[in-house]
Amino acid sequence: METFRTLLAKAALGNGISSTAYDTAWVAKLGQLDDELSDLALNWLCERQLPDGSWGAEFPFCYEDRLLSTLAAMISLTSNKHRRRRAAQVEKGLLALKNLTSGAFEGPQLDIKDATVGFELIAPTLMAEAARLGLAICHEESILGELVGVREQKLRKLGGSKINKHITAAFSVELAGQDGVGMLDVDNLQETNGSVKYSPSASAYFALHVKPGDKRALAYISSIIQAGDGGAPAFYQAEIFEIVWSLWNLSRTDIDLSDPEIVRTYLPYLDHVEQHWVRGRGVGWTGNSTLEDCDTTSVAYDVLSKFGRSPDIGAVLQFEDADWFRTYFHEVGPSISTNVHVLGALKQAGYDKCHPRVRKVLEFIRSSKEPGRFCWRDKWHRSAYYTTAHLICAASNYDDALCSDAIGWILNTQRPDGSWGFFDGQATAEETAYCIQALAHWQRHSGTSLSAQISRAGGWLSQHCEPPYAPLWIAKTLYCSATVVKAAILSALRLVDESNQ
């Protein structure tokens, strides 16, 4: 297993986000502009078609991920020359698409409350394009009927403004399709690196339909595809995200922040985050981002404060709403994990448990619990262990009764081999690491002895700590942040050693 030193060096590159079939399919459509890029992406897609003919994450199954990925891949494969060259993949894909949209489909169906990022905006556009290409979508009207209301609600949030790089909808700019470019502020979409909101799929759409052949967008995409294996990640670059989450995981362990050697090791990474922190606004995924978010800002505030820096809490407070904190402006539904991380930032800032802001966040979290069990699911991560474990770390001292109940749920769901997994089937190293972090934190905080459970989990994790890791994180489709997951695992293994001492 790597060390935190080597992990942070990787995090600083910001390229730890896994490739997705959805984003890669958009790059594969660029054949008319760049044959080499298109062919590399197409090869990646065809090598990763699932046994049932669909595309997306094999585990865990997510209907929205599988539908968007398969639609995007099939649109790419049936465009121009690809259909003849990849006839076998097309035939299997057609069957998979029929099965996914059939009323007889066996498995989780569309749940708009549990959808991937921008699904209600993107899916109707892709389905319309698929129809133009002659791809049959069963029950199309039924699926679109569930999406239309949420799509309209989200677009109303824009208040008539055109989509530009300062609005979150830019991340899903392909929602405009071939005929909706009028929705876009065309000259104010690109970031300094040529991308549209650091999204390969949005950038490919831009190069195809907004500014055809745009050299800056194509250069951004080429830099990713040529440096990898032909796949395109869910987003790139994301070094602030990867650094602050790696440091947050490190901070769960018993490190001596007064040790000059430790300070020197982490100095350049803390400096990088602090240099890009904008007073009153915070940070986004990457240092050059034009859009800050409450989640990254809250975690960065927590980390910078713990390591002796002085960020301003006002950057977190700007996201405060009447009943919760928003991740982004124009957000339709709140994120539980973002509010959990706000709670951690408020604690680090010295807010008392009786402060109205703390009480507001706690009330929102209490009201958002999964029915019938003491756990929480969120729109940024598929597993309830992520949000629940982070809640225990953030809410201790604020609401110990809530934390105790959440600890009970974690203990009751530990598998006989010591691992955890929220979904039927396999347990994962990532989820097991989060649970170890929560148990170790609660053991230190409450004095409750949990060494046996932690040790059992550590034994399993030490045998299952290497990649590949399941894509449990949520963007337009599911992805994995390998650097962040490795940091969580390394943190958990350290905590196991500390618990045994």
2-55 residue pLDDT tens: 899 999 999 999 999 999 999 999 999 999 899 999 999 999 999 999 999 999
* Rounded CA separation 211/220 (Å): 14
**Rounded mean pLDDT, 312-318:** 99
Domain(s) labelled CATH 1.50.10.160 in the chain stretch across 18-225
Topology of domain 236-498, CATH = Glycosyltransferase (1.50.10)
Residues 6 or more apart whose CB falls under 8 angstroms from that of 324 comprise: 334, 339, 360, 361, 364
Residues of the chain with CATH 1.50.10.20: 236-498
Other C-beta atoms lying within 10 Å of the C-beta of residue 395? 24
Q: Where are the beta strands (DSSP E) in 168-279?
A: 232-233
Cis peptide before 416 (omega within 30 of 0): no
CATH class for domain 18-225?
A: mainly alpha
Tens of pLDDT, residue by residue over 78-111, are: 986 666 678 889 999 999 998 888 754 455 556 6
Mean pLDDT of the chain: 93
The whole-number pLDDT of residue 104 equals 47
312, pLDDT greater than 50: yes
CA nearest to 302, candidates 365, 248, 362: 248
Q: What is the pLDDT of residues 317-334, one digit of tens each?
A: 999 999 999 999 888 889
Q: What is the pTM of this model?
A: 0.95
**Angstrom distances, CA of residue 172 to CA of 65, 188, 203, 390, 400:** 14, 15, 10, 28, 40
